């Protein structure tokens, strides 16, 4: 998994990525990292009871989320995917509204734990805590896309732990049978909380399982945002062209404990964590940007300061936002009139609110 | 107006709904070429094609999970679970996902789908082709559970379920499929979800039931009327959740005596909530004990005819309990 | 005799059982090096080795399914489900398999195992780390469900569960883990499964509860005693299934007034059976309405403190209901 | 899958099978076939409400069950496995006691549907109807065997349909991680009731999935009892030696409808069925036995008549056996004293009845 500082040759142009693309990818990765550092600070201050870290997964997430088309494709992330959601359109403030459980939390209005992402407007499917349950949803959305004749794609993200669940197997099998326009992305950080990969499976690479479902699998360096992007770009094109699903395994590492409730010293040595940090995806990407002359240390420092200020502002705004009304807890058990996602509604971003299914007829 | 049995009615209603709205798709095991093991989707594959009539792999969790995804993206999926006994692998997708997606997203997403499942015993199905599951799913906020007992209700409730913006579990008692016939209006109509129905008017005793047992109750009531001139009001719950307390309480307040009949295991079963509701809200109107007639607390009915019969509440058992209550 | 909290007691009891009988193994997510996310198996890996302290893949259905196989071949497995909310994927293995293997084999096979799961709310767990599941599993014949509320009961019930030849679900309320402390006898003893316990004697009102709510009830009862001189008898169900009707009915017949308090969703919840049982068997002894204080019928409690608080029954709500019932 | 009449060269001696072994394998296969024909006759006569056929699977079942050691190894069959159970020690009478739901039905005393096999005495684990639920049990039994230091092996059988279930995935994954002494046998008859393989998976051979669990998979001609035996023999030796699990896929065909409630004309052409019958495993094995001079048509006819008489006798005895007592339905919800399988009990054949776990201490 070890990755050395990249050579100076240009690896991004051939991928169709401009210098600006690279810079905004870098900014997104760094924003996620800064939000992470902030949320742990807030946790220590007693202002955030529960934190789910992303640090270490930024390249895998930004690289695999980037090839999707906003406003058209669908994102089915899991709790670790802050950076996926930032790519999809979440703002730092949105992140902290969720962290503080505020009424304006776009995911759930303060109902769910932090990092349980969702936004119909942005095409991010609401997520739950039970591992792997979202993967069959992705297959179903992909089926609907194909059925409706869209040329859109849905991607789902999950950890290595999720691959052990029956739902994971059933979802991939269904997608393979119908050659659905979807990509399955495994963020393999080698642990399911404390359970090491060796106790989760008897294979070196989880991507080998794709063969059993009749579609290709690939394993890439998840610390390398360009490698992650390249693999995903191919998979998305494959899906969009009607050739079917792909399973992409991105090898990465979780720098912090599983959550603010975890103590990873019980199952990982500090040396192991330090070793992994040498491949910090943001560090590596920064080095690449410098090596190809897109930026320099001074510019990068400027970006960090600018983003840091933004994140601090987001924290203040979110902190001062209103809490949900206690009585609001009884709402939305069932639909409240046609304003809510009902028959005819769709996860597609931009789709207007659900129409009643009474208006039947042709699709669209 | 035509007389049909339950399975024919469900087939025809589902057919008309698919014809009228191409967002409606059915998926499940053997729903295609086989037309479903109970023939509910017979001829659908030929008429609507395999894109809308989907033979799935043998995997219930994904049958429901994939349907949820379809519902999230503009379709109205109607997953069929071949036997209610085999819905258990999908428990997580139903309870954690389908029933909670609207709530957890603060109303942002909805899951319009109808989960169909044939349930119930008396068909030599033994432990795994006879189960009642409404006791589990009635306890899940965010999920609606309906059980039609007549063809007329089956059509109206199925149409209402398909038009409902939220997930509805539609339970069809296997034994009633061909046994129960009745007039079915030709015109389009809906039977509102959440409304019980007085299937027989009476003054002396209220008998609350649903599914196959409802018909046993009606027969027992008639017997009691004929033999002892006792007039029993029989209330068909129709919707397990949300439960229509009003109709039940109204009847009990009128008769002053109440019994609940269900096929599910007695303890912690659906009848417990109905009895508890009556006890809490109509105790002072009662002039007799509250009575439950239900399946015994054993894992299931057996295959051998006599042990299966031992399990199932039947007209005799119900009539005996009715008579005793009436004479109290 | 030592004072311990719940989690320490469960840890120590489990430890002693593993030490005494090498057929006992624990399996689940993070039970090894991590010692369990609640530290119940802390130090077990080092002492008993990874053959007996098994970190499993993230797959609940097989955690239970594999445990069933172990139980069928001479071991006494104790699967841990990390949070009760995540037991749903194992519903089929528990309901169709563990609970039915003895019955379906006519007594030929048995499944001695104890499924441990931390449950309950009030811990900022939101929709998926707060659930009550006893309402589902209490309705499964062939399965025993116990819920200790005190360290003393936790030790005795866990020892009884491990010695029971049939599957037992052992539910541990997360909020009580560190909150509830009590004296735990050093000697070996068992608390019989299927026996409720009067945790506080009283004459005016019977309050039936279990788990965290039991402690709220005791506090509310004390408050009512101090402020209004009302004496409330508090019955700890301890075993959800099989339910100890006798102890409950005895108390109700003495006090003539009964209320049931539970955290699970109200409708079709555990309290329904308890209220129904009292209504059926002690109606004539009642001189007040039957009262339920329970969680509302919404999918779950929210994360934000105020909406979580909105869901949970607390001492004030319980005290108010108690007072009203006493004054009836 | 097409198999031609075998050449005259000896294929069995090298497998360690004697002429007598072959003849008793043949007798077992034929007994299963005759029971099948009888149970359908009884069904038409209205004497048997529900029938699960085995015809077409006899070679796959006898070939894969044969290498296990009776009284030591454990069988975890599914409903189709009448011939597996005959190998394990079931008699024709046992089969019909179950068919008629009699009190002496060894599997369940008339409680379960026919073909829900089980017998602690014979080491056949009680089965249910829900597909694939038995496979995790096999993994657990294998774990206990390894833990207890036995050199026994457990095999589980299931259809192609079962491979789609989450439980299948989870069970194989667990077995792979712990290198358990177990063999997974898939009787691939190309249909899950009416659902063809092409709608169940996107692969040609299900055995390829074994790689994703870190152990070998093999696909064999399930109409060839010797090929099935050979593959299983290797797998059992592998398991017993501590080398871990194997997934064996046996290609076969179901000659009758799924059950007596099914009408297979709705999903299979008569031509397809007729074509498959040309590879009737009993016919093929008979031809082999003749080609290597172990028997001749006259002898085979004699065997058929002898077994036919046995099966007819079994039907009569079973038919006249007592029904269960209605009140017996309330028994065995929970253990009735230490006589029943409780802590310390074991599925191992020969193990004395369960001891109470109160007597704790060393294993055994
Ligand atoms: C069905 C289920 N079981 C258990 C849990 C508890 N849990 C939460 S995260 C987690 C580990 C997930 O690991 P992985 O999938 O590798 O993702 P990572 O956290 O490493 O990114 C577990 C066991 C859960 N949320 N859902
Ligand atoms: C969980 C579950 N879902 C559905 C069924 C209904 N059912 C019984 S057998 C069967 C098909 C099984 O096919 P396969 O596994 O290939 O075995 P075969 O019958 O072909 O031998 C189905 C769908 C069931 N028994 N269990
Ligand atoms: Mg991980
Ligand atoms: Mg098959």
- To the nearest whole Å, the CA of B189 is away from the closest chain A CA by 12
Going by C-alpha positions, the residue among B268, B270, B267, B249 that lies closest to residue B258 is: B249
Q: Give yes or no for residue D195 having a pLDDT over 50.
A: yes
What average pLDDT does this structure show over B207-225?
98
* Mean pLDDT over the full length of chain B: 98
* Mean pLDDT over the full length of chain C: 98
* C297 CB-side CA count, 13 A: 17
pTM: 0.97
Interface touch D212/A215, C-beta < 8 Å? no
What average pLDDT does this structure show over A285-294?
97
pLDDT in tens, B109-150: 999 999 999 999 999 999 999 999 999 999 999 999 999 999
What average pLDDT does this structure show over B287-303?
96
- Residue identifier of the C-alpha nearest atom 13 of ligand 2: D192
Ligand 1 atom nearest residue A132's Cα: 1
pLDDT at D363: 34
pLDDT at A339: 53
* Sequence-ordered list of residues with C-beta below 8 angstroms from that of D177, at least 6 positions apart, any chain: A198, A199, A200, A201, A202, C57, D214
What average pLDDT does this structure show over C150-157?
98
User: Which residues hold their Cβ within 5 A of ligand 4, which is an ion?
Assistant: D 159-160, 189, 191
D162 lines ligand 2 (CB under 6 A): yes
Q: Is there a cis peptide before residue C242, judged by omega within 30 degrees of 0?
A: yes
C59 lines ligand 1 (CB under 6 A): no
pLDDT at D339: 53
Counting as contact any 3 or more CB pairs under 8 A, the partners of D are A, B, C
User: Known catalytic residue: A254?
Assistant: yes
Q: Give yes or no for residue D165 having a pLDDT over 50.
A: yes
Query: With an 8 Å Cβ cutoff, is C303 touching chain A?
Result: yes
User: Known catalytic residue: D116?
Assistant: no
Q: Is C236 left (phi over 0), alpha (psi -120 to 50) or beta?
A: beta
pLDDT in tens, A59-76: 999 999 999 999 999 999
What is the Cα–Cα distance from D50 to B67, expressed in whole angstroms? 32
B62 lines ligand 2 (CB under 6 A): no
pLDDT in tens, A21-37: 999 999 999 999 999 99
A349 or A155: which carries more pLDDT confidence? A155
- To the nearest whole Å, the CA of B49 is away from the closest chain D CA by 14
Q: Distance between terminal CA atoms of chain A? A: 46
Catalytic residue among A267, A268, A313, A331: A267
pLDDT at B10: 98
What is the Cα–Cα distance from D152 to D145, expressed in whole angstroms? 7
DSSP-assigned beta bridge partners for residue C130: none
Residue D288 CA, distance from chain mean position: 23
What average pLDDT does this structure show over D334-342?
70
Q: Give yes or no for residue A3 having a pLDDT over 50.
A: no
What is the Cα–Cα distance from B72 to B113, expressed in whole angstroms? 10
Select the residue of A176, A201, A208 nearest D173 (Cβ to Cβ).
Answer: A201
How confident is residue D337, by pLDDT bands cut at 50, 70 and 90? confident
How confident is residue D169, by pLDDT bands cut at 50, 70 and 90? very high
D188 lines ligand 2 (CB under 6 A): no
Supply the DSSP string of D272-328, one letter for each residue.
HHHHHHTT-HHHHHHHHHHHTTS--HHHHHHHHHHHHHHHHHHHHHHHTSPPPPGGG
* B19 CB-side CA count, 13 A: 11
Strand, coil or helix: what is A115?
A: coil
* Mean pLDDT over the full length of chain D: 93
- Residue identifier of the C-alpha nearest atom 6 of ligand 2: B82
What is the Cα–Cα distance from C130 to A329, expressed in whole angstroms? 15
What average pLDDT does this structure show over A46-52?
97
What average pLDDT does this structure show over B201-225?
98
What average pLDDT does this structure show over A213-242?
98
A129 lines ligand 1 (CB under 6 A): yes
- Residue identifier of the C-alpha nearest atom 21 of ligand 1: A159
pLDDT at C1: 83
Query: With an 8 Å Cβ cutoff, is B178 touching chain D?
Result: no
pLDDT in tens, A185-227: 999 999 999 999 999 999 999 999 999 999 999 999 999 999 9
Counting as contact any 3 or more CB pairs under 8 A, the partners of A are B, C, D
Ligand whose nearest atom lies closest to the CA of A78: 1
Q: Give yes or no for residue A358 having a pLDDT over 60.
A: no
Q: What proportion of chain C, given as a percentage, has pLDDT over 70? A: 100
What is the Cα–Cα distance from D309 to D305, expressed in whole angstroms? 6
pLDDT at A337: 75
Burial-class residue C226 by CB neighbours within 10 Å (0-12, 13-18, 19+): exposed
How confident is residue B1, by pLDDT bands cut at 50, 70 and 90? confident
Interface touch C311/A329, C-beta < 8 Å? yes
A192 lines ligand 1 (CB under 6 A): yes
Catalytic residue among D26, D254, D256, D288: D254
* Ligand 2 centroid distance, CA of A136 (Å): 21
How confident is residue D347, by pLDDT bands cut at 50, 70 and 90? confident
Query: At CB < 8 Å, which residues of chain A contact D?
Result: 164-170, 173, 176-177, 179, 198-203, 208-209, 211-215
> Residue C61 is encoded by which pair of tokens?
């259905």
How confident is residue B171, by pLDDT bands cut at 50, 70 and 90? very high
pLDDT in tens, D104-135: 999 999 999 999 999 999 999 999 999 999 99
pLDDT at C40: 98
Which strand (E) or helix (H) includes residue D76?
strand D74-76
pLDDT in tens, A297-350: 999 999 999 999 999 999 999 999 999 999 999 999 999 975 565 455 577 664
How confident is residue A150, by pLDDT bands cut at 50, 70 and 90? very high
What average pLDDT does this structure show over A218-244?
98
Q: Give yes or no for residue B14 having a pLDDT over 80.
A: yes
What is the Cα–Cα distance from C275 to A243, expressed in whole angstroms? 59
Length of chain A: 364
User: Known catalytic residue: D267?
Assistant: yes
What is the Cα–Cα distance from B319 to B220, expressed in whole angstroms? 5
Which residues of C are catalytically annotated?
129
How confident is residue A171, by pLDDT bands cut at 50, 70 and 90? very high
Site from A136, A155, A169 to mutate, B interface, most B CB atoms within 10 angstroms: A136
pLDDT in tens, D302-323: 999 999 999 999 999 999 999 9
Q: Give yes or no for residue C173 having a pLDDT over 50.
A: yes
C86 lines ligand 1 (CB under 6 A): yes
pLDDT at D141: 98
Q: C97 φ, ψ to 5°?
A: -105, -75
* Mean pLDDT over the full length of chain A: 93
pLDDT at A357: 37
């Amino acid at each position: 998994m070890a990755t050395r500082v990249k050579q100076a040759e240009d690896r991004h142009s051939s991928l169709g990525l401009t210098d600006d693309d690279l810079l905004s990818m870098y900014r997104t990765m760094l924003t996620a990292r800064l939000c992470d550092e902030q949320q742990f600070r807030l946790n220590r201050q007693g202002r955030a009871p529960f934190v789910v870290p992303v640090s270490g997964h930024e390249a895998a997430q930004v690289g695999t989320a980037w090839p999707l088309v906003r406003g058209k494709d669908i994102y089915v992330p899991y709790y670790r995917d802050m950076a996926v959601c930032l790519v999809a359109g979440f703002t730092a403030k949105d992140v902290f509204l969720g962290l503080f459980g505020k009424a304006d939390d776009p995911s759930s209005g303060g109902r769910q734990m932090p990092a349980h992402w969702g936004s119909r407007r942005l095409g991010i499917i609401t997520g739950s805590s039970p591992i792997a349950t979202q993967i069959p949803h992705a297959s179903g959305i992909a089926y609907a896309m194909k059925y409706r004749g869209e040329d859109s794609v849905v991607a789902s993200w999950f950890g290595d732990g999720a691959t052990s669940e029956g739902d994971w197997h059933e979802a991939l099998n269904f997608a393979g049978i119908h050659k659905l326009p979807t990509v399955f992305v495994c963020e393999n950080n080698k642990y399911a909380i404390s359970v090491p990969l060796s106790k989760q499976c008897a294979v070196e690479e989880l991507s080998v399982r794709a063969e059993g479902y009749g579609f290709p699998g690939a394993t890439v360096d998840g610390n390398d945002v360009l490698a992650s992007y390249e693999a995903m770009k191919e998979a998305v094109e494959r899906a969009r062209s009607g050739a079917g699903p792909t399973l992409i395994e991105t090898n990465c590492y979780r720098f912090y404990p599983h959550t603010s409730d975890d103590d990873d010293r019980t199952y990982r040595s500090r040396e192991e964590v330090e070793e992994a940090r040498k491949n910090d995806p943001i560090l590596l990407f920064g080095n690449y940007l410098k090596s190809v002359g897109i930026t320099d240390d001074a510019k990068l420092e400027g970006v960090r300061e600018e983003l840091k200020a933004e994140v601090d502002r987001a924290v203040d705004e979110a902190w001062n936002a209103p809490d949900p009304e206690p009585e609001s807890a009884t709402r939305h058990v069932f639909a409240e009139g046609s304003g809510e996602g009902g028959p005819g509604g769709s996860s597609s971003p931009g789709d207007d609110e659900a129409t009643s299914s009474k208006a039947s007829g042709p699709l669209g | 107006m035509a007389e049909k049995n339950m399975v024919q009615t469900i087939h025809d209603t589902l057919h008309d709904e698919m014809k009228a709205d191409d967002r409606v798709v059915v998926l499940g095991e053997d729903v295609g070429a086989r037309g479903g093991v109970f023939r509910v989707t017979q001829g659908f594959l030929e008429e609507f094609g395999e894109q809308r009539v989907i033979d799935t792999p043998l995997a219930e969790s994904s049958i429901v999970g994939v349907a949820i995804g379809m519902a999230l993206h503009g379709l109205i999926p109607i997953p069929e679970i071949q036997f209610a006994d085999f819905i258990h692998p999908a428990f997580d997708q139903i309870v954690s996902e389908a029933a909670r997606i609207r709530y957890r997203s603060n109303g942002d997403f909805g899951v319009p789908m109808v989960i169909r499942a044939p349930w119930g015993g008396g068909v030599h199905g033994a432990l795994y082709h006879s189960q009642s599951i409404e006791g589990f799913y009635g306890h899940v906020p965010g999920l609606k559970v309906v059980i039609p007992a007549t063809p007329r209700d089956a059509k109206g409730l199925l149409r209402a379920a398909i038009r409902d913006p939220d997930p509805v579990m539609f339970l069809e008692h296997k034994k009633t499929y061909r046994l129960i016939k009745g007039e079915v209006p030709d015109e389009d109509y809906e039977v509102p979800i959440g409304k019980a129905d007085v299937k027989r008017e009476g003054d002396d005793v209220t008998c609350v039931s649903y599914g196959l047992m409802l018909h046993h109750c009606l027969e027992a009531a008639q017997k009691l009327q004929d033999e002892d001139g006792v007039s029993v009001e029989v209330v068909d719950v129709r919707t397990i959740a949300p439960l229509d307390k009003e109709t039940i309480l109204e009847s009990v307040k009128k008769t002053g005596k109440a019994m609940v009949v269900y096929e599910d295991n007695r303890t912690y079963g659906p009848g417990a909530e109905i009895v508890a509701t009556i006890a809490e809200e109509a105790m002072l109107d009662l002039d007799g004990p509250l009575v439950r007639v239900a399946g015994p607390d054993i894992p299931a009915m057996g295959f051998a005819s006599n042990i299966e019969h031992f399990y199932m509440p039947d007209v005799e058992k119900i009539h005996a309990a009715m008579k005793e209550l009436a004479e109290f």
